[in-house]
Amino acid sequence: MAKSLLIVESPAKASTLKKFLGSDFTVKASMGHVKDLPKSKLGVDIENKFTPSYEVIRKKAKVLKELKEAAKNAVAVYLAPDPDREGEAIAWHIAEEIDEGKAEVYRVLFNEITRKAVLDAVKNPAKLDRNKYESQVARRVLDRLVGYRLSPLLWNKVRRGLSAGRVQSVAVRLISEREREITAFVPEEFWTIIAKLQGESNEPFEARLVKIKGEKAEVRTKENAEEIISALKGAQFQVTGIEKKERRRFPPPPFITSTLQQEAWKKLRFPVKKTMQLAQRLYEGVELGDEGSIGLITYMRTDSVRISQSAIEESRDLIRSRYGPEFLPESPNVYKSRKEAQEAHEAIRPTYFDKPPDAVMPYLDKDIFALYEMVWARFLACQMLPALYDQSIVDIASGDFLFRATGSRLKFQGFLVVYIEGKEDKEEGDEEKVLPDLKEGEGLVLLGISHEQHFTEPPPRYTDASLVKELEDKGIGRPSTYATILSTIQERGYTRKEKGRFHPTELGFMVTDLLVESFPRIMDVGFTAGMEEHLDEIEDGKAGRVEILREFYSAFEEDLKKAHVEMKDLKTKGTPTELKCDKCGNPMVIKWGRRGEFLACSNYPECKNTSDFVRDKDGKITAVRREESQEKCEKCGRPMAVKRSRYGEFLACTGYPECRNTRSLFRDQEGKVRAEEVELTEEKCPKCGGRMIIRRSHVGARFLSCENYPKCRSAKPMPVGAKCPSCGGDIVERGGRKGLFYGCINYPSCRYTSREFPASDG
């Protein structure tokens, strides 16, 4: 009997859907996109209405062949990739490739993978959405035009291997400009003055100086602070005003993609990419024992806070039974989405209200459980009453000086019984601070007075959470693209993360400056946001793809022509410095190589002198004297010298550029440089069959790697002939920030480590 065919992107999603569709359906996975623009050429016919030349992705040829065969024997084909632009593109490309002669082709959409949602979608299929597909094609073509035109320009002007992106480059600009704000920031000193007071209740409390002679208190120096304290010693203090009010703290709305990403960073310290990977698994389905694969949350790429009526009713029933009717508002809480949100989607919420976190915890690993628990709690909270606080503000006068004490007491938990929002660093919370009972006109006793020095602080560097918020607020990209943006700007070496915060690299600064100067429109935040609105207009059928692309490209092409002539040529000329060549006296310039920045003589090729350098905190450049080692180049016999790159130290032949030989290095306990030890073993590589080699890392830890590196990157730790006292696994050499140590091969399930060489099995 012929079956219907339903096609999704991933095997996990296919596994979950099979349970709902029964024996009448065959469910297949496309494994993502099956077609894309070619890698080796532009793939866009600019003269012919910017027509893209999509090709079958080489790795997907076999998958596509299987889909075609399945479609030939199907009575109907249902295309069920994710309900967004990317999913629509996948559906269109599959539809173009499968044989439509025998079967009707339908598009099915569902925002949650539950039996009801899936069966309803199959019973009420839709047509492929041409406008949504056109919008995705427009984005893909835009990104290809910018990437394929700008990247070769950067290769010619800076160095090979660089790339630029329409949205990513603007994100790097935001990070670079923030860094320059921080560098230019001049901290200003100020002092706070705190009085410790006591009234008739004999309960001490603190009040802060807020006004002097009716004006805002601005205490700029220690001398000024001490003068005020001196004037207040022995002074009389009196309560002059008391304001008491009830303050409501309303629950946050349910998660959308961007707020999920932000909150996962604040509460769980998950990078955006990790958050989206975990959310994808929760949406597509996770194994819950005998129940099989279950999708626990709704679709995780959404900018709408809309909630279905059934979900509202189920959540209210759960709140009523679990927490009591006193936590429920009379009518459901309703939240308003941003104006550009797609209201066809729902917010991110649990799909099954009979599967609370504690019930599924045994089946989920730590991280995916933490994310599910957060989604669950946030959704319940959004349908609860606000928290209520009694807030007191007390003004206390002493001559020309006015002090203020504030107190806050939580009197009704409301939604806080299930959910408390995460905070970024020094964001203020709602910590309770109860004041004693005071009355207006009451005299107070001064128990002590203190002053504390402070300095104004520069704007903070971006974290995953704050950068996502900035991108969303400025309309750069869309929530579904944020994970890619944040990953790409790090992978390309334009930014790096330190302690969870984004820092621009020197390469990021340089490329940003070049692009801003030559392509002000593309690098303009407002223009980039406007382009996102145009893509939305294409999806809504309000604008045509060709017209939008033609308008963009005409201006872009003019900028491109000028840039080829006018953009600074840092590859040939370099960036000038004040340093002089120690061999010929000509100025040294900064150039870029495969391993990063270096100093080179401006008189090249007559003088080929080069040097590493370092920058201090003010950006001043100092040449680093070349450190020669005792090692000799095995290719030409000349000494090997220590070089530095963003990946660390390495040995390079002093005969460069005639000899370009390099080797890894490590330092012994005395700090002397040693070349990487290489020793062939009889062990075979499990991937390619080559010989495994004993090597050393930069801290001296031995490890095994394939002799065919870099073609084969197979590697594993080096056993030392001892067993772990905790689990019996092999002890291996490892290297960390503090140097060589020994650890169990079963890490992270076994965390045994030792700085001492372990005793052998004997």
607: alpha, beta or left? (left if phi > 0; alpha if psi -120 to 50): beta
The CA distance from 79 to 128, in Å, is 9
What is each CA distance from 585 to 582, 602, 603, 611, 625, in whole angstroms?
6, 10, 9, 14, 16
Pick the catalytic residue from 106, 133, 283, 299: 299
Backbone angles phi, psi at 718, to 5 degrees: -95, 115
Helices (H) and strands (E) in the chain, counts: 17, 38
Q: DSSP letters along 517-577, please?
A: HH-TTTT-HHHHHHHHHHHHHHHTTSS-HHHHHHHHHHHHHHHHHHHHHHS--TTTT-EEE
Which residues, listed in sequence order, are joined to residue 35 by a DSSP beta bridge? Answer: 56
What is each CA distance from 712 to 362, 676, 691, 707, 708, in whole angstroms?
38, 19, 11, 8, 5
What is the greatest pairwise CA distance in the chain? Answer: 98
Report residue 20 as tokens. 């709902």
Cis peptide before 657 (omega within 30 of 0): yes
Report residue 63 as tokens. 């998958």
The CA distance from 695 to 682, in Å, is 14
Angle between helical axes of 545-566 and 525-539 (0-180°, round to 10): 150
Q: DSSP letters along 146-209, please?
A: HHHHHHHHHHHHT-TT----TTHHHHHHHHHHHHHHHHH----EEEEEEEEEE-TT--EEEEEE
Report residue 132 as tokens. 């949504």
Contact status, residue 246 vs residue 389, Cβ threshold 8 Å: yes
299 is catalytic: yes
CA nearest to 158, candidates 568, 646, 688: 568
Residue positions counted in the chain: 762
Contact status, residue 48 vs residue 318, Cβ threshold 8 Å: no
Report residue 697 as tokens. 């890392």
The CA distance from 394 to 381, in Å, is 32
Contact status, residue 139 vs residue 50, Cβ threshold 8 Å: no
The CA distance from 119 to 151, in Å, is 47
Q: DSSP letters along 311-326, please?
A: HHHHHHHHHHHHT-GG
Angle (CA) 519 465 268, round 5°: 150
Which residues, listed in sequence order, are joined to residue 191 by a DSSP beta bridge? Answer: 453
Burial of 602 (0-12, 13-18, 19+ CB in 10 A): middle
Query: Looking at the annotation, which residues are catalytic?
Result: 299
